[in-house]
Structure 1
């Protein structure tokens, strides 16, 4: 008989102490500053998704919760990604915060996600062949000054720019080239005025027969 003994010990992760929980909120960012200020209410029924395909719907106050979202590395934590489904936002609302968002999960603690959205101002610019010389992709000189004025208008408050080109026989390929040049020209002018927010530009070609 010997007084020396040995045993195999298995350390089992206890989820209560090692899980990383997620708490979050989708809010109406009325001043469009990306932060939830006093008086900014939550947005109900908005969906967020994890990289593993889990869909979570915000409650009546815009709040959501994911229990034990992941088991983070106990030493350095783990990055966790959530993406908001923009199709679930109320009509006319657009995000004012990053999407997707990434936070660092810590074992045994809750991490917070905030998504802001606001009713966006849409500035629409209608274009046609009359604004261009025949077969040319650049705007006529008399219209370029108006383009600069439009960029100044966009700089006054966060907006979405919608370019709508109505094609009347000059060809869809030429219409798309003109829109591409327009977007580059607007981007240059936007950088010149300071680009204090990310300008989203939508472009569409319509047929004149519609």
Structure 2
């Protein structure tokens, strides 16, 4: 089976269930799975559409497609989600960063820029940081003018956020395990941001 044949089959399978999943886009999801397994870009897959899949690739694709057909989010399947143009690792220990959370980043940046008119640097706290998406997005825009601390009750979330920080190289961000303010020892912040889970 070649790339094009697999894509057509996967799109047909995903199309059967797309009305039940508002986040499912058969063509996009099939392409992402094929890119993930073959380690090729979308353009490369298109240009070499007649390339035969290796047996191991077919097996991997079959397993991943099955997970997607069962409703597992693409971000968990491929282990990554883009947020604020930053590639972030994701895992089931955290919620997937959502596009509407970028609005919170915009509001926080607006406040931060106004505040920086009157001071040289800011200290920002991100409560319930999860993947670190908000803290890292703010760091990407504000640079060395800020020190950001992201906290989460979940150690797995803190470890994942730290991995994202290291991958992006943002030295001005620290992640700590803390149940809200418990381990912050009366620290003061210029700005506190939070987008906590709204489901149990």
Same structural fold, with TM-score higher than 0.5 when normalized by the shorter chain: no
Structure richer in strand, relative to its length: 1
- Greater RCO (Cα-Cα under 8 Å, separation 6 or more): 1
Greater gyration radius: 1
Tell me the TM-score normalized by structure 1. 0.31
